[in-house]
């Protein structure tokens, strides 16, 4: 007859190692400024809250986001949880740039076991603090290394008037140079005017998303979900940011996230 106590111990050990990481929490989007043709095309906002991937058992090689659910947004907006990497910071005073990190190398679900260097195809500029550079007409230029490793590439956006700080996001992707499709690193940022404030450039990799059809009103039924064909394996300390497209209003949204462990 087997050792019943050992069986229980094994089950508890297995559960502590492989039980999915699940969180339910509220996202607050304080409101954002509508995008224009020269400032992102698609109105986008960043939630105040982020989720940091917790430490994992040594037997695990990482985790994938397999479930994302959100409720409380209008049917004209979409919510996107993304792996978020700070690529650079621009302090307006003195046009002072400091680089942060490069996009990481990761194993992708369904793509074998070899790590692939990520080039973010969803790159955004966030307004961190109030700045005179946020007034209409100021242009911000970002110099970057593209998906092929070619440096010295540039993308420029024009600031709209009175951009809301700490939420408004400007999508840089439509302004990539030539036929570029992604960014590995950012090597410089500069703005033509402004006397105070901070901008940050963030490289994003979508992990999931909620998509609604046309119409207005509160979404009281489960939305349509879209998972990317290949999602990156998350590691301890990774930051997951939450982005909303298609709406400027201040809104609270309830969401659920489940990360599944991988050995």
Is 106 exposed, middle or buried (CB count within 10 Å of its CB: 0-12, 13-18, 19+)?
buried
Separation of first and last alpha carbons in the chain = 30
- List the chain domain ranges: 20-262
Q: What are phi and psi of 33, to 5 degrees?
A: -90, 140
pLDDT band at 6 (very low <50, low <70, confident <90, very high): very low
- DSSP per position, 94-128: GGEEEE--PPPEE-BTTS-SS-EE--BSEEEEEE-
| pLDDT at residue 180, as a whole number | 94
How far is the C-alpha of 263 from the C-alpha of 59, rounded, in Å?
Answer: 6
Continuous segment of H or E residues that includes residue 16: helix 4-18
Beta-sheet strands, E only, within 92-235: 96-99, 105-106, 116-117, 122-127, 139-146, 153-158, 168-171, 183-191, 198-206, 210-211, 224-225
**Segment 193-210 mean pLDDT:** 84
Question: Which 3 state secondary structure label does DSSP give 181?
Answer: coil
Neighbour tally for 46: CB within 10 Å: 25
Could you report the per-residue pLDDT of 9-56, keeping only the tens digit for each? 554 454 455 567 888 888 888 877 788 888 888 888 899 889 999 888
Q: Which of 183, 161, 207 is nearest to 88 (CA)?
A: 183
Could you report the per-residue pLDDT of 210-228, keeping only the tens digit for each? 765 444 333 333 444 445 5
| pLDDT at residue 204, as a whole number | 92
How far is the C-alpha of 210 from the C-alpha of 78, rounded, in Å?
Answer: 5
pTM of the model: 0.84
| pLDDT at residue 77, as a whole number | 77
Percent with pLDDT over 90 in the chain: 27
Q: Which of 109, 125, 108 is nearest to 117 (CA)?
A: 108
Could you report the per-residue pLDDT of 140-157, keeping only the tens digit for each? 999 999 999 999 999 999
| pLDDT at residue 201, as a whole number | 93
How far is the C-alpha of 16 from the C-alpha of 143, rounded, in Å?
Answer: 45
């Amino acid at each position: 007859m087997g050792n019943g106590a050992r069986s229980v111990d094994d089950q508890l050990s297995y559960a502590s190692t492989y039980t999915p990481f699940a969180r339910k929490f509220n996202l607050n989007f304080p409101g954002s400024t509508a995008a224009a043709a020269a400032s992102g095309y698609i109105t986008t906002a960043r939630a105040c809250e982020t989720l940091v991937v917790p430490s994992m058992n040594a037997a695990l090689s990482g985790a994938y986001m397999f479930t994302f659910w959100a409720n409380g947004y209008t049917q004209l907006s979409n919510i996107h949880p993304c792996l978020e990497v700070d690529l650079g910071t621009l302090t307006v005073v003195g046009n002072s740039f400091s680089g942060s990190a490069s996009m990481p190398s990761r194993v992708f679900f369904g793509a074998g076991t070899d790590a692939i260097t990520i080039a973010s195809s969803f790159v955004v500029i966030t307004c961190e603090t109030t700045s005179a550079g946020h007034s209409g007409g100021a242009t911000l230029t970002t110099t970057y290394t593209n998906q092929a490793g070619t440096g010295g590439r540039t993308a420029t956006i024009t600031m709209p008037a009175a951009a809301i700080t700490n939420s408004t996001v400007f999508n840089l992707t439509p302004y990539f140079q030539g036929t570029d499709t992604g960014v590995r690193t950012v090597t410089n940022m500069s703005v033509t005017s402004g006397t105070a404030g901070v901008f940050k450039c963030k490289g994003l990799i979508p992990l999931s998303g909620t998509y609604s059809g046309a119409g207005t009103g509160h979404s009281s039924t489960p939305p349509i979900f879209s998972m990317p064909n290949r999602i990156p394996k998350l590691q301890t300390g990774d930051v997951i940011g939450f982005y909303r497209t298609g709406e400027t209003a201040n809104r609270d949204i309830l969401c659920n996230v489940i990360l599944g462990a991988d050995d």
